[in-house]
Structure 1
Amino acid sequence: MTKDKSKSLTLFGFFAITASMVMTVYEYPSFATSKLSAIFFTLLGGIFWFLPTALVSAEMASVDGWNDGGVFGWVGNSLHSKKIGFFALFFQWFQITVGFVTMSYFIIGILSNVFNWPALNNNPVLKFVGVLVIFGIITALQLGGTKYTATIARWGFVIGILLMSVIFFGLAIAYLAQGNPVQIQFSWHALIPDFSKTGTLTIFATFILAFVGVEASASHINELEKPEKNYPLAMIILVILAIVLDAAGGLAVATVIPQKTLSLNGGIYQTFKVLLLHFMPHGTWLLNILVLLITLGVIAEIGSWVVGPSRALQVSTEYGLLPKVFKKTNKHDVPVPILVAQSVMVVIWDAILTFGGGKEGNISFLVATTLTTLLYLVCYFCMYAAYFTLIFKYPNMKRSYNVPGGKFGKIVFAFFGTVTSIFTFVVSFFPPSALPTSAAKHTYLVVLTVCFVIGLIIPIVITSFEKHYTKGVENEIKHLSFEKNNK
């Protein structure tokens, strides 16, 4: 039997794409703000949200006929509504158009330190152009198809995440083993967060957000070798690795850098500088090399997100939910028109974030990042609603993977995932402690609410023109395969 050439992703290649969408070294400083409680929050978020979401994604992706378009296929088929499926997919895609900008900011921050060019990070015009150049180059690299995406993800994950994490943790352990000052208290009392303090719940939301995206690579499942075996295996490995690395990474930063001087944007550079120069006083050249290698992990994350939801959006055009122009692909099966539309959104967000920051706590930036959270959670609400429908209404649907524990286990995992999602959604409306005045907090809530409502309306408006999109091509439009598969 000849090998199916369409199955171009190995277990490791698929795992690398998924891991690069979820795991990033640059988030460690955010985790470090909770000090020793980073362990508590990571375990709580990992067990009660990340693990359920990964397992539920694995089962829904393995249902016969549901692997077309990721969450679009899962939600659309289970709820038997292609519009609701599109809503879930739209929110999954829309949130990352903001994320592209913030990830590019991290790369710009590293480059400004390495090349001693503060203006790159401080001058709005240079920063705006820098984001466009970084995102443009990474997007162009994805035009060659999945094999290039997998290659970038593989090297970015191995070098920018795994290797840098090993070096990072090794230096931190050696530093602490020498008896150098520890910036946090190690005790059972310090392990449990003080929920009486303002901002504690908001910090928990940050940990949950660090895990989002585990389901986004499902649009590549048709290209994965032995998906019925490799998909759930990749998810389980990812859950364990992400929990361990995120907890250890946040703890390492917290023990080395004092909270008062910790920079959320430059915390990794700060920590690497303290650790490396402690052992190599003249090792600035090596420091620059290491932090540049970290950017490979971020580049891999951007590259994986460029094609993941975009490819799924291209599938939705085949069901008449977007104009047929977005159905077009290049010779490598990459949906170029969708990437163009995505790039336009990134330009808009780049302008808003770079030029629209308010004087009081940069309200525009905080609203945009929180809006990302809220929109993504809507996607997860749709996904969990679809999974509960699958459990209770269609338990006999053929699938190659089941969440462990039988029906009871499925209900328990789905329950915890749903409740944690609702909790995170509510907490996201709590004004961050970074806002210094009550007026700023009021503005934050008003702008956030308005933007969120507009975000909810956009996909409704898009799908309202479905008859226009399908005019003249009705016979080419696909229909949900649920009824056929359920017979």
Structure 2
Amino acid sequence: MNVIAILSLRQIPNVAPYGASAFLLWLLAASCLFLPLAMVCGELSTGWPKDGGIFIWVKEAFGKRVGWIVVVCFLCSCVLFFPLMLQFAFSALGYVLGDGLAGNKAFIGIGSTILFWILTWMNIRGIQWTKAINSVSAWFGVFIPSAILILLAIVWLMTGRPMATDYHAAANWIPDLSRWDSIVFLSSMMFAFAGLEVAPMIAGRTRNPQRDFPRAMLISAIVIVGIYMVGTWALNTLYPAKDVNIVTGIMQAVKAASIELGMPWLLAVMGLCMAIGAIGQVNSWLVGPIYMLQEASREDNLLGERVSSLHPVYQTPAFALIVQAVLVTVFCFSTFVSPSVEAAYWTLTALTTLCYFVPYLVMFLAFFQLRRAQPDVTRSFRIPGRVLPVVLPALGFLSVAFAVVLVLIPPAGMDMGGGGYLAYGGKLVLGILAAIGLAEWIYHRARRRHSEAANGQTSA
């Protein structure tokens, strides 16, 4: 479950510019975030095994208001994630249909919008299409393109060709942490483990949670980090680290290698696989956050009757899905106002990371609060010992906080538009404040509506 939920080839081009030093950074990200996140989610999910996940844990620790803010931030991260993945898909398709389209703003922006509305329409009509698309995308989006990339690198070396990136010098294995704007992609390495909160929700259903769950987390950590490392090595083998584009990096490498090895047809195969995988990821997340939002708003009817209503025929949250599609359309057109497709892609990545990591920060704090306030709640899995329950959540919190700081720094060598650090960081801070402000407005509006209704009944 962890491998399927977390692993994404989209993350590799973000890290490939570090070259050989990416290996140490992957290990650092796994140690500082993957394991603390897994252990904390494991204990919380077995102590409060209810639908809602992070929302339930935060609500138990800090109340419904904070829990609601976390839900809205999570939903905002998904709304930002959709155009991000669609841009990735159409950039890959651009290589199949013609090099010029890979960086064409109109092709990527309009194509992403049309495709998302098609997926929305299909999901309004029921989940049978969702199941079919997800089954196909698991193979074509992850396993097949991963195998192609790694096998290409092996063939490249076996035929006597040199690595495009220098892995021989010992100095290249040490990360250059001298400049903040050169290590900002570390935040994307942290985000590469997003989704880990899903699998621990069934930790309590294993035969021996205290033994089997940590073992499963360790194995999945080795598999996921291992594939990320090998994928990064393969990309660096085929294409110079300094020239990797964070959107089209994999396609750049496959194009260069397939032409050199006399297999130009492989580029089209890889492009289609990457696009199918990205579309599948969008489709798999399209409905889930909407249902979580409805679950969170059900108790106090925070969103009102219309938003919470289901389609009369298909029994799906049609109105909420349409509102979501409108918001995604706005962000899909961000390609038109950004200096480049790469700049638009990174801005969406940064905003997605911020909105996704704020709930993580609150969740780590909720762990400490629940350990203190509700120590007697039965947890079929507990972080063992007396030191680890303090060290691991603290390490996770600090790692996420560090990633949030990195996100606010524009990456070196990328044209993010005028204004410098202040303007770039200001836009991102305004984005997360807007999400929190929206949550607060909805919550207080609903409370006021309930208060007025209660006063009306009292008067009557």
> What TM-score comes out, normalization by structure 2 length?
0.87
Alignment of 1:291 onto 2:291: no
Q: How far apart in 2 are the matches of 1:84 and 1:77?
A: 10
The answer for the alignment partner of 2:104 in structure 1 is 122
In structure 2, do the counterparts of structure 1 residues 387 and 240 end up closer, same or farther at CA, with 3 Å as the change threshold?
same
The answer for the alignment partner of 2:411 in structure 1 is 432
Q: How far apart in 2 are the matches of 1:35 and 1:460?
A: 43
The answer for the alignment partner of 1:303 in structure 2 is 283
Residue among 71, 74, 81 paired with 2:57: 74
Alpha-carbon displacement from aligned partner over 1:301-342 (angstroms, at most 9, x marks no partner): 112221232221110121223223233335776433322221
The answer for the alignment partner of 2:154 in structure 1 is 173
In structure 2, do the counterparts of structure 1 residues 437 and 329 end up closer, same or farther at CA, with 3 Å as the change threshold?
closer
The code of the aligned residue for 1:205 comes to S
Q: How far apart in 1 are the matches of 2:110 and 2:288?
A: 25
Q: Secondary structure at the residue paired with 2:387?
A: helix
Q: How far apart in 2 are the matches of 1:191 and 1:121?
A: 32
The answer for the alignment partner of 1:97 in structure 2 is 79
| 2:87–2:345 Cα contact (<8 Å) kept | no
Q: How far apart in 1 are the matches of 2:186 and 2:229?
A: 13
| 1:153–1:300 Cα contact (<8 Å) kept | yes
The answer for the alignment partner of 1:111 in structure 2 is 93
Q: Secondary structure at the residue paired with 1:202?
A: coil
The answer for the alignment partner of 2:360 in structure 1 is 380
| 1:20–1:297 Cα contact (<8 Å) kept | no
Residue among 228, 231, 240 paired with 1:258: 240
The answer for the alignment partner of 2:330 in structure 1 is 348
The code of the aligned residue for 1:411 comes to V
Residue among 299, 304, 316 paired with 1:323: 304
Counterparts of residues 77-88 of structure 1 (less than 5 Å): 77-79=60-62, 81-88=63-70
Task: Return the offset for 1:468.
Answer: 5.2
Task: Return the offset for 1:459.
Answer: 0.9
Task: Return the offset for 1:21.
Answer: 4.4
Alpha-carbon displacement from aligned partner over 1:62-89 (angstroms, at most 9, x marks no partner): 224x42212111111233x111111111
Alpha-carbon displacement from aligned partner over 1:243-275 (angstroms, at most 9, x marks no partner): 111111112111221234322222111222233
In structure 2, do the counterparts of structure 1 residues 200 and 127 end up closer, same or farther at CA, with 3 Å as the change threshold?
closer
Identical amino acids, percent of aligned pairs = 25
Residue among 46, 59, 65 paired with 1:62: 46
In structure 2, do the counterparts of structure 1 residues 74 and 204 end up closer, same or farther at CA, with 3 Å as the change threshold?
same
Q: How far apart in 1 are the matches of 2:390 and 2:27?
A: 21
Q: How far apart in 2 are the matches of 1:473 and 1:140?
A: 36
Which deviates more, 144-153 or 318-327?
A: 144-153
Task: Return the offset for 1:49.
Answer: 0.4
The answer for the alignment partner of 1:42 in structure 2 is 26
Counterparts of residues 222-233 of structure 1 (less than 5 Å): 227-228=205-206, 232=213
Task: Return the offset for 1:285.
Answer: 2.7
Residue among 415, 433, 438 paired with 2:394: 415
| 2:360–2:400 Cα contact (<8 Å) kept | yes
State how many pairs are aligned. Answer: 446
The answer for the alignment partner of 2:458 in structure 1 is none
Q: How far apart in 1 are the matches of 2:389 and 2:84?
A: 35
Residue among 115, 118, 123 paired with 1:142: 123
| 2:11–2:188 Cα contact (<8 Å) kept | no
The code of the aligned residue for 1:329 comes to L
| 1:216–1:309 Cα contact (<8 Å) kept | no
Q: Secondary structure at the residue paired with 1:398?
A: coil
The answer for the alignment partner of 1:162 in structure 2 is 143
In structure 2, do the counterparts of structure 1 residues 438 and 41 end up closer, same or farther at CA, with 3 Å as the change threshold?
same
| 1:100–1:302 Cα contact (<8 Å) kept | yes
Task: Return the offset for 1:187.
Answer: 4.2
In structure 2, do the counterparts of structure 1 residues 436 and 212 end up closer, same or farther at CA, with 3 Å as the change threshold?
closer
| 2:17–2:243 Cα contact (<8 Å) kept | no
The code of the aligned residue for 1:45 comes to A
> What TM-score comes out, normalization by structure 1 length?
0.82
The answer for the alignment partner of 1:10 in structure 2 is none
The code of the aligned residue for 2:176 comes to D
Which deviates more, 323-332 or 449-458?
A: 323-332
Q: How far apart in 1 are the matches of 2:180 and 2:409?
A: 10
Alpha-carbon displacement from aligned partner over 1:187-211 (angstroms, at most 9, x marks no partner): 4432220211453331221211222
The code of the aligned residue for 2:408 comes to F
Residue among 430, 442, 456 paired with 1:462: 442
The code of the aligned residue for 1:427 comes to L
Residue among 372, 377, 380 paired with 1:392: 372
| 1:216–1:308 Cα contact (<8 Å) kept | no
| 2:89–2:278 Cα contact (<8 Å) kept | yes
Gapped regions of structure 1 (runs ≥ 5): 1-14, 475-487
The answer for the alignment partner of 1:152 in structure 2 is 133
Alignment of 1:213 onto 2:192: no
Alignment of 1:240 onto 2:219: no
Alpha-carbon displacement from aligned partner over 1:325-375 (angstroms, at most 9, x marks no partner): 233335776433322221121012122x1222148x986664443222222
Q: How far apart in 2 are the matches of 1:312 and 1:185?
A: 45
The code of the aligned residue for 2:305 comes to K
Q: How far apart in 2 are the matches of 1:286 and 1:368?
A: 29
